[in-house]
Structure 1
Amino acid sequence: MIHYRIQPLRPEAHLFAVEVRVPEPTPEGQAFAMPAWIPGSYMIRDFARHVVAFEATANGEPVGWQKLDKHTWQLEPVDGEVRVRIEVYAWDLSVRGAHLDTTHGYFNGSCVFLAAKGHEDQPCEVDILPPEGAAYAGWQLATGMPRISGNELGFGVFRAENYDALIDYPVEMGAFTHASFDACGVPHRVVLSGRHQADMARLCRDLALICEQHIKLFGEPAPMEDYLFMTLVTGDGYGGLEHRNSTSLMCARADLPRRTDAPDVVRDAYRNYLGLCSHEYFHTWNVKRIKPEAFTPFDLNQEVYTELLWAFEGITSYYDDLALVRAGLITPQAYLEVLGQTISRVQRGSGSRRQTVTESSLDAWTRFYKQDENAPNAIVSYYAKGALVALALDLTLRDLTGEQKSLDDLMRLLWQRYGKTGLGVPEHGVQALAEELAGQSMAAFFDLALYSTEPLPLAQLLQSRGVALQWRAPANHGDNGGKPAAHAPVNLGVRVADDVLGARVAVAYDQGPAMAAGLSAGDVIVALDGLKTDARKFDEQLAAYQPGERITVHAFRRDELMQFTVALEVGEASLACLSIVPEGLTPAGLDWLGQRR
């Protein structure tokens, strides 16, 4: 067994002290390595760069060592147990890293635990200690890792079956709010860290409905004995990362249910948070257990390429909000608004006409996770476009089989063939199972959806369900689509953000009037026709103009004041609006949205 020990060393300095003991090191000298990336987030993050101290001993004596590369340390040969101690700087406030201060501590194992090379398959024991000092006497601990000792929510000793499991149990410590609920007989815990006024009873009630929806989709029993939702609450945070029996989330305070909310109303911000929880929970099956062949096993030393992220992230993105309407938490029309926003997000930039969804998956390491100001014009999201591919695949399977088979059946088949067996899904495995369900070739569909930039036939597929798809121009520069708009004023073809000087151009869209006039992302617009502007009154000022008129725009690029003449026009009809037709959803539409029991 490999033994680990971790303790917040100096919370005010953001340092964890981490120790690993190897009873039987390799004869040629034990090597240790830190992962270069974390599963579920496809970018090289070089966690070893946060190791600020390294020492090795055996029998109480120092052991010589050398660093072989950016994340590997090699010890000299010794007899008997070796002990390595490192200090890790933890100031990454995200779901992917490690963070420690005087209010709380959080870490993913990938960021703090060294792998003992050659011993990765051995069981691991972890002693997690609280920081020293009376100020931390009230700290609690939450993790999905199986406990050996200590009280519930207390520090103690934990066990993982191997190194891969060890780094798949994130840990939160500090003073937090906690609650619990059951879903299909499985105990679930909810932990909220940070200041908030959330209605915990409602949150548990709503999460239970979502969890039961997903468990029943794949079939009972659930693949985990228990589950933990961990959320760090901040002023404006958002994000999530899946783990084998838990998820790490970040949200804004306004995203949580309020005790003053009407019991039957789901605010948009709360809906977004529930969708995030739903997304990460669905990953319990899709990614954590149903994996691409390329990820079986993970190679955490370097990039691992697959075309299948459209399925693992895209299909998950499709089901996250679909589960909300199927669980009765939101109305069908509310779901269609969210779906319309997804369609708009794909269509709004020209990236969807330049990159296929499989290319996006392959380029995740260098493009999707390293987006710049030109990203909407250059790339397509395998999350958003993948969700639309999943929608089209679902409705196409229903059409081809007379509503007898659907993406639900495909997910259950993936679970039986690959999730339960531990086998990886081949690059064309999803297509093969879809064709098995359809009883015919679906090559034309997959060629269009995965390997071309041509639009998906969503309007036709939705029409037979009683849903109309319409397109409109942006009503303002922050318009995300999804809902009808009364009119379409002139538009510069940009997205703007707050800046101390005015309105900063966050994105300049291809073919837009601003780009045609020479404006670029990063420019700070300070005046429109000689009148001072900012992000809040930008659209109001433009509303006074008509298409075809010219406007003088003053903007700073770096420290240079520049002048541009922009020919105003109504924006491209690139935003989608979905609505139920007057006759209502068809029987097929009701079945799709889970409205018929």
Structure 2
Amino acid sequence: MTIDYRIAPADLSGHYFDVTLTIAEPDPAGQVLWLPVWIPGSYLIREFARHIVALEAGNADGAALAVTKLDKHRWQLPPAAGPITVKYRVYAFDLSVRGAYLDETRGFFNGTAVFLAVAGQEARPCRVKLVAPKGKAQKPWRVATSLPADGAKAGEFGRYRAGSYDELIDHPVELGDFASDTFKACGVEHQIVIAGRHRADFKRLKRDLKKICEYQIRLFGEPAPFPRYVFMTMVTGDGYGGLEHRASTALMAARDDLPRAHDTELRPAYRQYLGLCSHEYFHSWNVKRIKPAAYAPYDLHRESYTRLLWAFEGITSYYDDLTLLRAGLIPVASYLELLSQTMTQVQRGAGRLKQTLEEASLDAWVKYYRQDENSPNALVSYYTKGALAAAALDLTIRLRSDGARSLDDVMRALWRRFGMNFEVHGQGVAEDEWERVASEAAGLDLADFFEQALRSTEALPLPELLGRFGIDSQLRPMAGGADKGGWKELAPGGAGNSLGARVAAEAGGVKLTHVLEGGAAHVAGLSAGDVLVALDGLRVNAGNLDAHLGSWPAGSRVVAHAFRRDELIERELMLTAAVADTWGLRTSTGADDAALARRRAWLGSA
């Protein structure tokens, strides 16, 4: 017996989906229904059930059944013979990749936000009927999803299927009059879907994504782990983000991040978008099929803790940009710029001195996904430092094995042991198993590396390792607020002074979004949220702040005026020279032949 769902865009201006759930064989003791409290890949309790605004149930005779709410995400029905029909309405106005959205121009949903699970019957196959909206303006709407069709024609409303509830909620659905095109990578069809106004050059996008997909498929070994794949992108003015699924990804991007027909170069914004696509695609192997044991299966009733997120998100973050290089989309200099920017992000947070990578992974639920004004002082990202740990691990394996092994071999070993047949054995990687598999695949004892990289706050030896691969490292002061990292030749004494805070433009001044421990703002008594309006009696704003800070010698004491809430405060600010917190990387002109050979083997280029 299948579990049957029907979902219809019911009130577009009110942002409501209507869902009907039919249970052929309900639990004789009384059926329990539940909705996930979080979505895999985004480690925060999101309470999707709060968006269910009405729910009713009835039996085969049409008689109403009492519905009792058990807790925040579960409902109890009384004993009744099947079939039982449950009807409910879901509010959908979350413009993100994690929930559900509906208006007159577009519909989108993840199953975790709209499909109630039937307790005890989660392993049963599911059928879903996608119903078209009734408005004339929505007549051109189509469907994009990686859900297998069950009678529906490609791209059309109709019936789809899934082998279980877990599979059902892992195929997001895009509805609307979107732009779409397809390409094949290693013989597998890939669909690109772009919703929202855009000027994307599909020809270039297809060509570039094909290179990314084919590189990653061949890295793990053909065939790809899915029969087809869908890249779904919602375009907005300034969006950014992604969420991985077993045969698709939901993305958000800024309109100008997409390639344009008149572009002659790969702009940094488009490079960032390709990196995002590369990241989510790599997850098809690393987290969707090679999983922590804590996610095999997912417990969607509560938090699921693991110390391995550094491996699943950090290693994926390492390969996302590396793929762009190895697939021939960016040159070595561009890749080193990206790597130096990641090093800079980690260097600029005092949290790297307080939280280990394992702790960062475990605390994702309460720290990384709940960041506040003190986060740079308190936590380290398992994405960014995890990516650096992955790079250091890759280089360490290559050096210690004299080039015979690399992190590529580790990932393939994990794939063969855990990912390739995950649908059959359902086995995840135990907390202490990842390191053991890595050492076995590399043929090395890596215990010392993991102890330092994962369970201490010591700095990773990445600059020293890079030097063995013919790459020079530079640690320098930040050259202005727009400096994200990269090699720069600075004039002596040209670094200027540092406020010791992260800032954002604010009407009438500059808002301090984060005050960094030990910096000038912290010492002076300024706080996150303060709006700095004047230094030494002169008005400041986002455009002239760097110039004002640089107009005095380091050590000068300057009167700062700021608003804290609606109260004007005055503080004495002692200006300090900008600290060396910015990394730059470049290929070394004096590298010996051995270093050059290592670099070519690693980066696939001189």
Q: TM-score range by the shorter chain?
A: over 0.9
> Partner of 1:257 in structure 2?
259
- What letter is aligned with 2:177? A
Please show how residues 101-120 of structure 1 align to structure 2 within 5 Å: 101-120=103-122
CA drift at 1:541: 2.4
Alpha-carbon contact 2:290-2:419 (below 8 Å) kept:
yes
**Would you say 1:466 and 2:473 are equivalent positions?**
no
Q: Which of 222, 225, 231 is matched with 2:227 structurally?
A: 225
Partner Cα separation in structure 2 for residue 80 and residue 430 of structure 1: 46
Cα distance in 2, alignment partners of residues 501 and 459 from structure 1: 42
Offset at 1:532? 1.6
Instruction: Tell me the secondary structure at the aligned position of residue 480 of structure 1.
Output: coil
Pairing 1:407-486 to 2, within 5 Å after superposition: 407-422=407-422, 423-484=427-488, 486=490
Q: In structure 1, what is the Cα distance between the partners aligned to 2:258 and 2:524?
A: 42
| Structure 2 counterpart of 1:62, one-letter code | A
Structure 1 stretch displaced more, 542-551 or 192-201: 542-551
Which letter does structure 1 place at the counterpart of 2:235? V
CA contact (8 A) 1:22 1:82 kept: yes
Q: What amino acid maps onto 1:268 in structure 2?
A: P
Secondary structure (helix, strand or coil) at the match of 2:337 reads helix
Q: Distance in 1 between matches of 2:486 and 2:21?
A: 52
Q: Is the 8 A contact 1:477 1:493 kept in 2?
A: no
Aligned residue runs from structure 1 range 175-186, under 5 A: 175-186=177-188
SS at match of 1:574: strand
Once the 2 structures are TM-superposed, how far is the Cα of residue 530 of structure 1 from its aligned partner? Answer: 1.4
- Give the Cα–Cα distance (whole angstroms) in 1 for the partners of residues 456 and 52 of structure 2: 44
With normalisation by structure 2, the TM-score equals: 0.97
**In structure 1, how many angstroms separate the alpha carbons of the residues matched to 2:467 and 2:338?**
17
Aligned residues of 2:534 and 2:560 also touching (Cα < 8 A): yes
Q: CA offsets, 1:32-87, max 9 Å, x none?
A: 00000000001100100000000001121100120101000000111121111110
Deviations 1:247-276 (A, max 9, x none): 0000001111111100xx211111000000
Paired residue type of 2:167:
A
Q: List alignment gaps of at least 5 residues for structure 1.
A: none
Separation in structure 2 between the aligned mates of residue 448 and residue 388 of structure 1, nearest angstrom = 13
1:592 CA drift (Å): 0.5
Contact 2:533–2:562, Cα closer than 8 Å, also in 1: yes
SS of structure 1 residue aligned to 2:365: coil
Equivalent residue of 2:303, what SS? Answer: coil
**Secondary structure, counterpart of 1:363 in structure 2:** helix
Aligned to 1:368: 368
TM alignment of 1:179-328, pairs within 5 A = 179-262=181-264, 265-328=265-328
Q: CA deviation digits over 1:220-257, x for unaligned, max 9?
A: 11111100000000000000000000000000011111
Q: CA deviation at 1:485?
A: 5.2
**Per-residue deviation at 1:434?**
1.9
SS in 1 for 2:526: coil
- Which consecutive aligned stretches of 4+ in structure 1 deviate over 6 angstroms post-superposition? none
| Secondary structure class of the residue paired with 1:12 | coil
Q: Distance in 1 between matches of 2:357 and 2:438?
A: 18
Supply the distance in 2 between the matched residues of 1:485 and 1:548 (Cα, whole angstroms).
Answer: 24
1:575 maps to 582
Distance 1:131 1:266 in 2: 39
Q: Report the TM-score when normalising by structure 1.
A: 0.98
Give the structure 2 partner of residue 128 of structure 1.
130
SS of residue in 2 equivalent to 1:13: coil
Amino acid at match of 2:260: R
Quote the residue 1:491 is aligned against: 498
Q: Contact (CA 8 Å) 1:104, 1:174: kept in 2 or not?
A: yes
Instruction: Look up the match of 1:529.
Output: 536
Determine the C-alpha separation between the residues in 1 that align with 2:92 and 2:507: 31
Sequence identity (%):
53
Secondary structure of 1:364's aligned partner: helix
Give the conservation status (yes or no) of the 8 Å contact 1:477–1:494.
no
Shift of 1:291: 0.1
Partner Cα distance (1:270, 1:483) in 2? 21
Give the aligned length: 594
Q: Which has the higher mean CA deviation after the structures are superposed, 487-496 or 449-458?
A: 487-496
For residues 164-208 of structure 1, what are the alpha-carbon distances to aligned partners after superposition, in whole Å with 9 as ceiling and x for unaligned? 000000011111110111111111000000001011110110000
Structure 2 regions of 5+ residues with no counterpart? none
Cα separation, 2, equivalents of 1:415 and 1:591:
22
How far residue 135 of structure 1 moved from its aligned partner, in angstroms, is: 1.6
- 2:598 aligns with one of 567, 573, 588: 588
| 2:101 aligned residue | 99
Which piece of structure 1 moves more, 587-596 or 84-93? 587-596
- Are the aligned partners of 2:152 and 2:160 in contact in 1 as well (CA < 8 Å)? no
Is the CA contact 2:413–2:441 (under 8 Å) kept in the aligned structure 1? no
- Counterparts of 1:217 and 1:489 in 2: how far apart (Å)? 45
Does the 8 Å contact 1:237/1:250 carry over to 2?
Answer: yes
Q: Which amino acid aligns with 1:397?
A: I
Measure how far apart 1:479 and its partner are.
2.4
